[in-house]
């Protein structure tokens, strides 16, 4: 792959459509592996509202990768309070991370994740969580490369 050209920056209002398109494609990719992730019909407006909600939320952040081909990746993160009884007060959860298929394996996903790490560390948070589908081999490998390890297993069953 050619060297990446571009950089991570905080998302701007003008990025909304690009972020929604990436988010929609991310969900479609997950839904192809497990239908439980499938979006409802006409959910683009909901994704748009979710992007706007992240932008307004002081506990949330969203970064994009802006390169020669425009915005080809984004990462969203949320600072969450721990239960009142926990010694740990806060954690950051990376809620979404996606890079367009044609731009993968150039370090863009890592650069976006590192922006979230810096943001978490800068706000005094010492631990980051991410939920990854067990069917997502690439995502599993990516996060483990960045030092993430098994923490909690989320189990489910059909009724
Ligand atoms: C996971 C994802 C964000 C990675 O983005 P990316 O830009 O391709 O990742 P990077 O190029 O920064 O990869 C960094 C390292 O992670 C590992 N890695 C990344 N993707 C991998 C894959 N599919 N299989 C194995 N290892 C992988 C490699 O060690 C890679 O370094 P290398 O290319 O020098 O070997 C991207 O594949 C994606 O958008 N997938 C669909 C959405 C998704 O799964 N999101 C995360 C789930 S929460």
pLDDT above 90: residue 19: yes
For residue 4, what pLDDT is reported?
A: 66
Question: Which listed CATH number (3.30.70.2190, 3.90.550.10, 3.40.630.30, 1.10.260.40) goes with 8-143?
Answer: 3.40.630.30
What is the distance in A from the centroid of ligand 1 to the CA of 141? 7
pLDDT digits (tens, 9 = 90+) for 74-97: 999 999 999 999 999 999 999 999
Residue spans of the domains in the chain: they are: 8-143
At 41, is the pLDDT very low, low, confident or very high (cuts 50, 70, 90)?
A: confident
Strand ranges in the chain using DSSP code E only, listed in sequence order: 6-10, 60-67, 70-81, 90-99, 128-130
Atom number of ligand 1 nearest to Cα 130? 48
Residue 155 pLDDT greater than 90, yes or no: yes
Nearest CA, atom 29, ligand 1: 145
Centre of ligand 1 to C-alpha 84, Å, is 35
Pocket probe mutation, ligand 1, options 142, 145, 146, max atoms within 8 Å of Cβ: 142
Q: Cα dist. 117→72, 76, 80 in Å? A: 20, 11, 14
């Amino acid at each position: 792959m050619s060297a990446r050209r571009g950089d991570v920056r905080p998302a701007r209002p003008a990025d909304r459509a690009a972020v929604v398109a990436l988010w929609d494609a991310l969900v479609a990719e997950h839904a192809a592996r497990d239908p439980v992730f499938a979006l409802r019909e006409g959910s683009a407006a909901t994704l748009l509202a979710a992007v706007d909600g992240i932008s307004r939320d002081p506990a949330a952040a969203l970064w994009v990768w802006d390169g020669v081909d425009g915005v080809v990746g984004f990462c969203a993160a949320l600072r969450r309070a721990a239960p009142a009884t926990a010694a740990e007060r806060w954690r950051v959860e990376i809620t979404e991370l996606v890079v367009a298929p044609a731009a993968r394996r150039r370090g863009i996903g890592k650069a976006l994740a590192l922006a979230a790490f810096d943001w978490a560390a800068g706000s005094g948070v010492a631990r980051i969580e991410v939920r990854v589908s067990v069917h997502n081999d690439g995502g599993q490998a990516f996060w483990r490369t960045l030092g993430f390890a098994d923490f909690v297993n989320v189990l489910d069953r059909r009724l």
